[in-house]
Amino acid sequence: MKRLLSLALTALALPLFAADSDGFVSMFNGRDLTGWTNINCAPETWTVKDGNIHCTGKPVGALRTLRHYENFIMEVEWRHLSSGGNSGVFMWGTPISAPGVPFLRGIEVQVLDTGYATNYEKQNGKKSDWFTTHGDVFPIHGAKMIPLGKHRGDRSFPSEDRSKPSPEWNHYRVVCTNGSLRLHVNGKEVSGGDECNYRKGYLALESEGAPVEFRNLRIKELPSSNPAPELVAPLDPGWAPLYNGLDLRSWKSAGDAKTRWQPSDWRLVLKDGADAAKQTLWTEAEFGDVEFLMDVRAGKTATGDTAPTLLVRGRDGKGTELKTGIEAGKGGRVRVQVKGTEAVVFLNDKETVRVPVPSGKGALGLKDTGAGQDFGNLHVRKL
């Protein structure tokens, strides 16, 4: 068993495709999304179309690699299919979204159509002084970076305008070595940063509201600099999404859930209405020993018995109640471990509740308390 596990881990660290003569390895086979995983989007968000990775842009989220990368040269071509489209390529990212947002923590190499800046100038009567559409590089959601060249805050601006407008293709070459990043746009280095944290992690493509395509993704790995553990993004422990960002597929209720629950991109929103008929939302799947993770926010009226509440090991519309500990008007990341005959609730990584639960399997329920609430980044993993 130990030998089999060792072989499996070794396989995960190996390239999926053979190297070209220049040492680059393809990251996309042109037929399917082998080597990539959908973090928090619908199945139809990321597909292969005409030999390209096609993204609808809805919901907001990411498609990431199955494995970590540290030092490398990555090349990718991209194009927006509508003027003003927004997207990005994440370097050294986390396995799932950072708390309270639909994006990974990492360094973003922005993929922004030139029409976005044009629209901004028309609406505001002046050019933007806080972004460009030609290859900005910046850390997001907890990541750190010292920007190069002209910058605002920790956002590095490109030294010249080189991006082509939709629907033309653009070429990015991203060189990442020892915590430094350099972006080349259509053949010339224009922006980047140093002392990045993290400097080893997942690579990802971003869905952000508009259709975009990627092709000719390839990577050449460089020798490791053996970064300190605190500079390495966490490995994926096996998280799988529970909500697709578009609709209530894989969820059910005793009545009409749509009267109470509203998909709102990456968030699943419970309408405020204390007098409404309650429609607790249940997963269609049942779970044994698992861990759930989600970002929860309570409405300003969510106090007392109307505070966000989960139900675990649910059967026949009933389950064991777990208080999330989220106060009115506030939010946090909730993690729930359900193992054996006990459930443990953590709020922002601090244990808050231990509750006995029945053995066996059951569904996860989001209780309709009548108070406005929203749930985002819902994930589950087996224990």
**Where is the domain boundary, 233, 262, 283?**
233
Q: What is the pTM of this model?
A: 0.91
Sign for the CA dihedral angle at 294, 300, 303, 306 comes to negative
pLDDT for the residue numbered 16: 56
- Do 160 and 301 lie in one domain? The reply is no
227 and 249 belong to one structural domain: no
Q: Do 162 and 301 lie in a common domain? A: no
Residue 204 one-letter amino acid: A
Domain count, the chain: 2
Assess whether 203 and 302 both reside in one domain. no
- Distance CA(60)–CA(131), nearest Å, equals 20
pLDDT at 17: 62
CA-to-CA distance for 79 and 168, rounded, in angstroms? 6
pLDDT tens digits in sequence order for the chain, 383 residues long: 433 344 344 444 445 566 776 899 999 999 999 999 999 999 999 999 999 999 999 999 999 999 999 999 999 999 999 999 999 999 999 999 999 999 999 999 999 999 998 888 889 998 888 999 999 999 999 999 999 999 999 999 999 999 999 999 999 999 999 999 999 999 999 999 999 999 999 999 999 999 999 999 999 999 999 999 999 999 999 999 999 999 999 999 988 888 999 999 999 999 998 777 889 999 999 999 999 999 999 998 877 778 899 999 999 899 999 999 999 999 999 999 999 999 999 999 999 999 999 999 999 999 999 999 999 999 999 99
Give yes or no: residues 223 and 245 share one domain: no
CATH of the domain at 302: 2.60.120.560
pLDDT at residue number 89: 98
Q: Are 32 and 131 in a shared domain?
A: yes
State residue 5's pLDDT score. Answer: 40
Q: Which domain holds residue 194?
A: 2-233
Residue 60 and residue 176 in one domain: yes
Domain boundary among 233, 259, 292: 233
**Residue 272 and residue 219 in one domain:** no
Are 302 and 348 in a shared domain? yes
Residues 192 and 101 in one domain: yes
Choose the final residue of a domain: 173, 204, 233: 233
Same domain for 272 and 142:
no
Q: How many CB atoms lie within 10 A of CB 232?
A: 17
Alpha-carbon span 302 to 299, nearest angstrom: 5
Are 225 and 285 in a shared domain?
no
What are φ and ψ of residue 304, in 5° steps? 60, -130
d(CA 374, CA 314) in angstroms, rounded, equals 20
Q: For residue 136, give the nearest of 126, 146, 121, 151 by alpha carbon.
A: 151
Bridge partners (DSSP) listed for residue 47: 54
